[in-house]
Amino acid sequence: MTPDSASPEKPVPDALLDALRMVVGGGNVRTGEVVTAADPGWNPDNFGAGIVVAPGSTEEVAAVIRLCRDHQVPVVPQGGRTGLVGGSVSSPGQIVLSLARMNTIERLDPIERVAVVQAGATLEALQMAAAEHRLEPGIDLPSRGSATIGGMVSTNAGGIMAFRNGVMRHRVLGLEAVLADGSILSDLTRVVKTSAGYDLKHLFIGAEGTLGIVTRVVLKLDPLPRATATALFGLPSVGAALETIRLALDTEAGHLRAAEALWQSYIRLAASAHGWSEPDFPLDQPICLLLSLGGANEQALHSEFERLFAEVLDRFPETTGIIASSKQQEIDLWRLREDTDVIYRTHPASPSYDVSVPLSEIDAYVAHILQGLSAIEPDLEPYLFGHLADGNLHIALNRRGPLPERIAGAVETVLYDGLRQRGGSFSAEHGVGSKRIHSLLTTADPTKLEAMARVKATLDGQTIMNPGKVLPQKPQIQPRLRRRNA
């Protein structure tokens, strides 16, 4: 399934395996049945290499990289293996480098509001550790229990709070990475302001391990509010939902923490799957908005929601709403949004997409894709949901996947064509991995692609680091990239 799986690869030499065992300890180089029997995570090819090496320190990661470089064996780093675009798939002739043993939260400083975390720690572990000091990482996503900090940095994860706090890139103060030559780039500042030369850590954030392996991260933390409140509004249009968000950003008490949109077809599916219903909340609105407020006191937040509801109702009389009055009701509402597996249970391997659309363009974009999809096949429809306040829409089709190639291409044309020119992005928060390289090459600015290839060549000239991800393998680059007079 990886772009390189067709080309026959040399097997990993035994001499390398022996040397790796010397570095990380025999039990931390796993091969054979131990690997094939392990849970590969979201993608069955994650363990395709059949060899998993788990270093215990940055120095061990560096030694592993030097050995693999000497043997010309590519390295595929892995975190939680819950990426959706094949960024951690591997194939024979490669080794998987697991960060699982490097999962220590090394520092959590309530005065600095900063955490220093090894790459293999999960988001949930960090959230729990930070909560003890009434702090939070300021980033949250449904896969919090499996997603690792290193994986989230490498894919520049986004999630629910990005409209307010930015994406992972905006939470990273410092970073340590092992480069392709085995050297260690150490930039572990614990401050937000640093102008000490090019800020190269941003090259590694979102590079999916293709430029270096992130081993340690310094993250900014925010105060965890004492109280939260949740509400679900049913609204007549995207415009009404955006206006609701605008008003909710301007609350008197507390602050907006989440504004998740669930279009009608998706909330109907989710509600039906979970047997969820509320007498005063018929599921006949075009769009629903799941809102969360955080603040000092729950009663004030409930009053704020009531004030907000009255204000929205005044502008859009069709508006309906529920304010969760118990923890259980809050959980039930969030399950409607977060348990998106309901789609895949109904449509196994449903083709799914992850786009960013500037807020003022969402209405037109949704109309465009509805029309475009139905032009491909009359009953081809999307389940739509996502992070409305930052324009990140998740789109899953009412089809079993994978689609026939002709239809898949037509769907991508409808979804992606012109999106960059509108100010959006064909990949919002899932990355490029191996699955979306073609789409990147088709839609990206040629100057950017060429600069990416140059940066890759200068930092990983031998293509040891996660080859065939983000950018195609070397031989495929040249014909695709526009040459410029040098």
Q: Compare residues 29 and 415 and give the one whose CB is closer to a second copy.
A: 415
Contact 61, 177 (CB under 8 A): no
Task: CB nearer to a second copy: give 31 or 439.
Answer: 439
- In our burial notation (b when 16+ CB lie closer than 10 A, e otherwise), range 358-368 reads ebeebeebbeb
Q: How far is residue 397's CA from residue 382's CA, in Å, rounded to a whole number?
A: 4
Distance CA(193)–CA(368), nearest Å, equals 42
Smallest gap, in angstroms, from Cβ of residue 181 to a second copy?
A: 6
Which residue's structure tokens are 């807020």?
Answer: 359
Q: Of the two residues 25 and 358, which places its CB atom closer to a second copy in the complex?
A: 358
Nearer to a second copy, 200 or 407 (CB): 200
Q: How far is the CB of 431 from a second copy (least distance, A)?
A: 5
Query: Nearest to residue 465, comparing CAs of 125, 109, 64, 55?
Result: 64
* Min dist. Cβ of residue 97 to a second copy (A): 19
- Please say which residue, 71 or 420, places its beta carbon nearer to a second copy: 420
Tell me whether residue 73 or residue 389 sits nearer to a second copy (CB atom).
389
Q: How far is the CB of 127 from a second copy (least distance, A)?
A: 18
Q: Structure tokens of 198?
A: 């090019």
Q: Which two tokens stand for residue 268?
A: 């109907």
Residues 6 or more apart from 408 whose CB is under 8 A from it? 351, 402
Q: Measure the CA–CA gap between 226 and 485, rounded to whole angstroms.
A: 59
Return d(Cα 26, Cα 61) in angstroms, integer: 15
Quote the DSSP letter at residue 12.
Answer: P
Least CB distance to a second copy at residue 239 (A) = 9
Q: Report the alpha-carbon distance of residue 67 to residue 73 in Å, rounded.
A: 8
CB 173 within 8 A of CB 117: no
For a second copy, which is the closer residue by CB, 370 or 449?
449
Q: How far is the CB of 312 from a second copy (least distance, A)?
A: 16
The amino acid that residue 428 corresponds to is A
- How near is the Cβ of 283 to a second copy at its closest, in Å? 27
Contact 65, 23 (CB under 8 A): no
Q: Which is nearer to a second copy, 67 or 179 (CB)?
A: 179
- Side chain identity, residue 267: I
Residue 269 CB, nearest distance to a second copy (Å)?
24
User: The tokens of 99 are what?
Assistant: 């960060």
